[in-house]
Structure 1
Amino acid sequence: MNEHTVRTRVGTVVLRPATRDDAPTLHAWLTDPHAAFWAMGDHDLSQVRDYLDALVQDPAQAPWLGTVDGEPAVYVETYDPARVLLDQVHDAAPGDLGMHLLVAPPGDAPRHGFTSALMSAVVRFCLHGLGAARVVVEPDVRNTAIAAKNAAAGFRVLREVDLPGKRAALSVCTRDDFAASPLGDGVDLAPHLRAGADVPDAGTPDTGDAASPMARAHRHLVAKTLAELSHERLLAPRALGDAEADPQDRATWAWFELALDTDHGLVVHRFRAARFALEHWVIDEPSITRTVDGAAADLDALALVVELQPVLAIPDALLATYLEEVSSTLAAGAAKDHAGGPRADELADADLPTVEAAMTEGHPAFVANNGRIGFSLDDYLAYAPERGARTRLVWLAAHRDHTHLALGAGLDEATHLARQITPDEHAAFTERLAARGHDPAAYHLLPVHPWQWQHRVPVTFAADVARGDLVPLGTGADEYQPQQSIRTLLNRTRPGADYVKVALAIQNMGFLRGLSPAYMRVTPQINDWVHDLVAGDPGFAGFEVLREHASIGYTGDVYHRTAAPSAHRKMLAALWRENPTARTAPGERCATMAALLHRDAHGASYATALVRRSGLDARTWLRAYLDVYLRPLVHALLAHDLAFMPHGENLILVLRDHVPVRAYMKDIGEEVAVLGERALPPEVERVRAVVDDTEKALAIFTDVFDGVLRHLAGILAVDGTLPETAFWAEVADVIDTHRAEHPDLRTGVDLRAQRFAHSCLNRLQLRNTLQMVDLTDQSSSLLYAGTLANPARA
């Protein structure tokens, strides 16, 4: 290598190999008092020349001279620490490079920042110019000045060692250490949060929008806020002029404005939108503009919430919490935008883990849908579903006197454990318990999310750990990937092994995401009952449940002894659920149903990609989907008074040739409900919630029509894939066909009624951002905004 150039704030630094011709310059520097720690002040010129000659001839060492704008300024030596000086005291790793540095004497006019700039240039030269993985230095411990510069460049002291003539601080600096240091470039820990425009690169999608990821996240969330709050009749945008028909008959578009008289002026949002059945709004995001007192202003989802507070009636005491959830949703949206992700047509052929990680929308209806309050940046990178990262569970031993393990039909504890941990893990956990003086037979094994372990177990449950009711055993062997349901983890080490769902005490979308040990006690029995009912009725053809066949909960803590229940009672529990990929046949793939409402970074929809790849006409494809999703849910309600929570992330679709052929329902134990007086086993009685026929119908109207199908209908219509009228005609036909196939079914539930109650989700979250509904009495918690016309009406 001849030379290496680095541009710094003090000038252009050029480093080149030093030769004996540089001896006069180096002699002058070494004999200056500021070079005392080099211990070469007594060398004459010939000795310095010989010294340089020896370095040049040694393949394990190299001398370098650096100039700043052509003037000699720095001397550097590099060496192989495995062969020179440190061979007896340092366990050198591949890529280690030793380094000595000497900056020229400051002279009469020292320059501020000169030494720091040269230090930065030299470390950059070693790491990037010479390709070192780590730079190793061993300064004299008395040299406090160089210690400070080393620290500023990211060096970490490993330990003190004795070397010839000095006690040295053995230190290393990796590329990441340097990049994050004050003298490095600085690690852009959250590039998606920058306000300025990004230049797309290989890792950033070219969306045709020069705005930053955060600006695009604001735009998307403003559009969603305007659309969903208008849908819930909290906002009433004013139409501007006549609607304009789409020449391709996809939708009818019109311009609207929302004017708000605020404390800081008149704020006006104008936008282009199409309206569909169920008062569903699709807003053309690029069209949105905002003005404040007539002056153009940036779109700001947080400001919009504050401006809307008088309209939304968010309690003052909870406004900041809601704003934090909105801010977190923005941050997640910007990160997803920055990452880009697969194209929709690529996802059409992807496996379940890839599809899960590609999703960009937390919930189609909620504005604040990615709160995750409690996650740090590192937590987000490690555990957010869209990151697609893998993690390992932490295992605790929980004393049997305070723990309940519930198992489904045909499952015993030994069989259950053998499915969840390997023999090596079981042996290690048993030995660790015994080594600490505990009887392994007195404990159950409880998996804990690593976030929960870091933030809750050693602190919130410190007393339980101290008295041995909870015993940390270490990290498990299997790697897991977080799913869209953030507490649910998919085993990536052993494909087909059970899902694990664990408590996670973060605030997200109106709830602390814990798991109740009280609920877990009968979860497997409820799942067995639902499974047997579904499997025994031909009316559920193409629809199956993923049983939660084992659950565990710890109740030995003080929080279970307080008079009033609290979220602290839901922090140590877990369940195991069947894995859909274990049931797929050759040629079949699984995908979260949430993907049907997904658009990629370029605006292309996954649903349209599936339709086009299937080779079927859109209406035929839609009917295949409705037959495995809507028809079984209708049958469950009308034949059994049984209601699921069938939103996108609770259904797994099985696709063959890009067409839905089956659906798996999950999250049974917490969210299934029997809405009538039919006989139930005692252990299933908890799920009974008797309501009248009108409210029963909302299990389809609210959760399916309004919660899922209105969004899908809008996507397919705007894409030009299927007109909305054809979409809802097919929905109506599914209901009519079911009725024709079951003429003897007697029910007062009318799914072809003209109108139904308009139940509103955001209104729930706005009323109480900490707990939207009382899970023990969900019916009385609901909020309505009049009625909606049924698009599948008679």
Structure 2
Amino acid sequence: MTHSSPHSPDLTLEPLDVERDAGLLHRWVTHPKARFWMMQEASPAEVAAEYTRIAKHPHHHAWLGRHRGEPAFLAETYDPARSELAGLTALPDLEPGDLGMHVLVAPTDEPVRGFTRQVFAAVLEHCFRDPAVRRVVVEPDAANLAIRRLNTEHGFREVREVPLPGKTAMLSVLTRAAWQHATGEVAHLRPDHLEAGQRHLLTKALAELSHERLLEPQRLGDGRWRVTAPDGRTRYDFRARVLPLEHWVIEPASVMRTRNGEPAPLDVQAFVAEHAEVLGLPTELLHTYLEELAGTLAGFAWKRHHHRATATDLVDADYQELEAAMTEGHPSFLANNGRIGLGVRDHAAYAPETGSTVRLVWLAARRASAHLSLGDGLTEEALLAGELDPEVRAGFDERLTTLGLDPADYLLLPVHPWQWENKAAVTFAPDLARRDLVHLGEGPDSYQPQQSIRTFFNRSRPDRHYVKTALAVQNMGFVRGLSPGFMVDTPAINDHVAALVASDPTLQACGFSVLRERAAVGYTGDAYHANPRTDDRSTPHQKMLAALWRESPLPRLGRGERLATMASLLHRDAEGRSLAAAMVTASRLTAQAWLRSYLHAYVRPIVHCLVAHDLAFMPHGENLVLVLRDHVPVRALMKDIGEEVAFLHDRPLPPAVERTRAEVDDDERALPLQTDVMVGVLRHLAGILDDEGVLPASELWAEVRRCVRQHADEHPDLALEHKRYDFSRPTFKHSCVNRLQLRDTRQMLDLSGDGDQMMYAGELDNPLATAG
């Protein structure tokens, strides 16, 4: 098969035909200009034998490149893990998704200026054409300064020198994100991507703001609706169906905007500005919200430009491929990818959709000005031994002793690279100068950002912990910091919840468990903690240097099992096809059977935790990891325990867990299920499956009701508690998340505050009261 380059259509690549091309190859590889190819003395037979060997190798391929149909270059691609690199000290630097590459431009006495760069770019496009390729790895001769310069110009990062047969090589890697950055920082900002993003986001705005009763669409008949802006001159017409829980399923292609009776382009920022007063958006915060919408549109355009995998392609994707493939951000919030503070290069380096990997920066924080909290049975030594190799820790200690400091006086603190460069190194300059903080440098492990952007998964050692870091970037109504004071009790809370879950037979029968946050560290020796605000509310400045370690789910997998973030069930590809529907098809189960397994893994544990323990989670899509077997969810792992768990009773709790106690009225007890599960997740899943003809929404809600009733029937000892929670009451309070963000785009909730800060819009009819 011949591949052409999108940016250089005159260049093509095709599989090498050894019999046809052997003579040509011999002339190229033995030319004096090809000395770094190390085949100067090879005979024609030896060259043919070498490329015959490559042709037969399952993990090494050779490609003939042509320019306008004429042979012009040679390329090789290979799996580094099955190459000579794998047996050497370079192995720790290799990662899943690496692809090795060699390029030889046909030697000529009349070189064309810029041609080598065109060839190099075309070969890289060829390599990254495969979505499974995360990085391209090269190992040029360290003495070949010209090719090393070419590599770095295209975004390669030189890792280190490694000894290979016949040469000392400079191992270098190019991430997909770095390649995309090098080929155009804003290549995704195109009219077609913007139009698609505007249509998607405006459709979502009409649907979600109507759901939250901020808009009151006028029924026109025959499935047609209209929203008229307050000025009376701008109208939005569309076709829609309204499903249970006032879930609006709008046909994106049907959305039309007219102004003064004339067609007008779709513009979600203009829509928000037109409706600002109706939406309750304060005038002084309008521009901040518009900026978050602009960031969300930019993120959409980037994903549309670079994500080509279909829902079917993703059915067999691994955990981290899925994490990077998500396109929505949050199913309910409009401005969900604002990320105010990240620049275009930062996006390429740190946004989860790029699938890029980073190395965390490590600081040493003076113990007297910092705090480390550890879970039951975990020591500082055991934590660090599990996360950092001995030579790395020795290097950190050497850095401290070189400065005349005692390593025993310091705690180790991982920091997001952006946070170090943009905040810690400047905002904490006095602390660094005092040596209360000491910069130790990057750690060696590669981490991939998760959908929650400040949480990292260890790609080098997947058995090691997630690391959650502070990040002073505003996204979705919050600056994404971490409070050292708030996290002091986090490991103890996790231990308490994990022990409760592990001791409950019903939860164990569901396979339900929690990913514990095992340790938390934070620095408080700065001026911002020394001079707190008088209103007792912590500020972003007090949340800039902290981190926690959370268990990895990988060690919990059994034979034939794999992982997926629950948010992936709501993912839809560029053609509108959902991953959930693709999973149902791949499972070969009926939609009802697939759904029952999912509800048993997800809804049943949430119900049981409430009625048996008065324990409420915030179980939205990104807070759960699903375990799949044959494309079917069979159990769930809950995470983000420290910040998003509450006990709804007045029974004794350990002192460190006391902050999780919440006082709620009886009519609010069931809201963790009704709001976070039914409205926050299942409403969207019901709309997706109904829209794709997989399962009518009414049947999904009938299955949810069956799941809740089955739990009650099988637990007669909890009959009074089921009656108290009354999950099937006719109506429940209508909690509205966009209203929260619109009320205060800077901090929609004070997570450390008391009382109910939610916003409600009356009550919703409960589909569990009538389903089935």
1:74-473 alignment runs, 5 A limit: 123-125=113-115, 127-128=117-118, 174=150, 188-195=184-191, 212-242=192-222, 254-262=223-231, 266-473=233-440
Deviation at 1:337, TM superposition (A): 0.8
Task: Please report how far the alpha carbon of residue 696 of structure 1 lies from its aligned counterpart in structure 2 after TM superposition.
Answer: 1.5
How far residue 272 of structure 1 moved from its aligned partner, in angstroms, is 1.2
2:686 to 713, 723, 741: 713
CA distance in 2, matches of 1:341, 1:222: 23
Deviation, structure 1 residue 341: 3.5
1:94 deviates by 10
Q: 1:620 to 1:428 in 2, by over 3 A?
A: same
Taking the aligned partners of 2:293 and 2:356, their CA distance within structure 1 comes to 24
Q: Alpha-carbon deviation of 1:543?
A: 0.9
Report the aligned-residue RMSD. 2.6
Per-residue CA deviations over 1:115-171 (Å, capped at 9, x if unaligned) read xxxxxx9743564489999xxxxxxxxxxxxxxxxxxxxxxxxxxxxxxxxxxxx99
Deviation string 1:530-565 (CA, Å, 9 cap, x unpaired) is: 000001011213210000011111111110012313
**1 CA distance for matches of 2:636 and 2:33?**
65
Shift of 1:172: 11
What number of residue pairs does the alignment pair up?
A: 616
Counterpart in 1 of 2:733? 757
Partner of 2:23: none
Measured after TM superposition, the shift of residue 343 of structure 1 is: 1.4
Give unpaired runs (5+ residues) of structure 1. 1-57, 62-92, 102-120, 134-169, 180-185, 196-211, 243-253
Counterpart-to-counterpart distance in 1, 2:611 and 2:754? 20
In the alignment, the residues of structure 1 paired with residue 523 and residue 114 of structure 2 have an alpha-carbon distance, to the nearest angstrom, of 52
Residue 259 (structure 1) shift: 1.5
Cross-structure match for 1:528: 495
Inter-partner Cα distance in structure 1 for 2:122 and 2:325: 35
**Secondary structure at 2:574 match in 1:** coil
Task: Report Cα offsets for 1:372-420 as digits up to 9, x if no partner.
Answer: 1000001100111111011000000011001111111111111110111
SS in 1 for 2:336: coil
Query: Is the CA contact 1:126–1:132 (under 8 Å) kept in the aligned structure 2?
Result: no
Distance 1:178 1:737 in 2: 59
2:513 maps to a residue whose letter is: E
Structure 2 residue 515 is the aligned partner of structure 1 residue 546: yes
Q: CA deviation at 1:777?
A: 3.5
**Cα shift readout 1:259-299 (whole Å, capped 9, x = no counterpart):** 1143xx71111111111000001111111111111111111
Partner SS, residue 446 of structure 1:
strand
1:497–1:582 Cα contact (<8 Å) kept: no
Q: CA deviation at 1:645?
A: 0.9
Residues 574-628 of structure 1, C-alpha deviations (whole Å, 9 max, x = no match): 1111111111012101000001111112211111111111111111111110111
Q: What is the match of residue 17 of structure 1?
A: none
The alpha-carbon deviation at position 778 of structure 1 amounts to 6.0
Mean alpha-carbon deviation: is it higher for 536-545 or for 368-377? 536-545
TM-score, scaled to structure 2:
0.77
Specify whether residues 292 and 623 from structure 1 end up closer, same or farther in structure 2 by C-alpha distance, changes over 3 A only: same
Structure 2 SS opposite 1:235: coil
Which of these residues, 619, 624, 634, is aligned with residue 646 of structure 1?
619
* SS of alignment partner, residue 670 of structure 1: coil
The answer for the alignment partner of 2:566 in structure 1 is 593
Judged with a 3 Å threshold, the aligned counterparts in structure 2 of structure 1 residues 645 and 774 are, in CA distance, closer, same or farther, namely same
Normalising to structure 1: TM-score of the pair? 0.74
Which digits, 9 at most, give the CA deviation of each residue in 1:455-509, with x for residues without a partner?
A: 1111110010000010000000000000111111000001221111111110000
Deviation at 1:99, TM superposition (A): 14
**In 2: Cα distance, 1:324 partner to 1:424 partner:** 45
Deviation digits for residues 418-473 of structure 1 (CA, Å, limit 9, x no counterpart): 11111111110011110111101100110000010111111110010000010000
1:758 CA drift (Å): 0.4
In structure 2, give the amino acid aligned to 1:548: E
Letter in 2 for 1:305: V
Give the whole-Å Cα distance in 2 for the aligned partners of 1:578 and 1:132: 41
Deviation by residue 1:78-112 (Cα, 9 ceiling, x = unmatched): xxxxxxxxxxxxxxx999999999xxxxxxxxxxx
Tell me, yes or no, if structure 1 residue 736 matches structure 2 residue 732: no
- How has the CA–CA distance of structure 1 residues 788 and 445 changed in structure 2, closer, same or farther, with 3 Å as cutoff? same
Contact 2:565–2:622, Cα closer than 8 Å, also in 1: yes
What are the Cα deviations for residues 517-538 of structure 1, in whole angstroms up to 9, with x where unaligned?
1122111110000000001011
- 1:126–1:707 Cα change, 3 Å: closer
Unmatched segments (≥5 aa) in structure 2:
1-30, 35-101, 124-145, 156-181
Partner of 2:664: 691
The answer (yes or no) to whether the contact 1:341–1:358 under 8 Å persists in 2 is no
**2:743 corresponds to which of 767, 775, 779:** 767
State the match for 2:699 in structure 1: 726
Does the residue aligned with 2:749 lie in a helix, a strand or coil?
A: coil
Q: Contact 1:755–1:788 at 8 Å: present in 2 too? A: yes
Which amino acid is 2:659 matched to?
Answer: R
SS at match of 1:668: coil
Q: Does residue 1:487 correspond to 2:477, yes or no? A: no
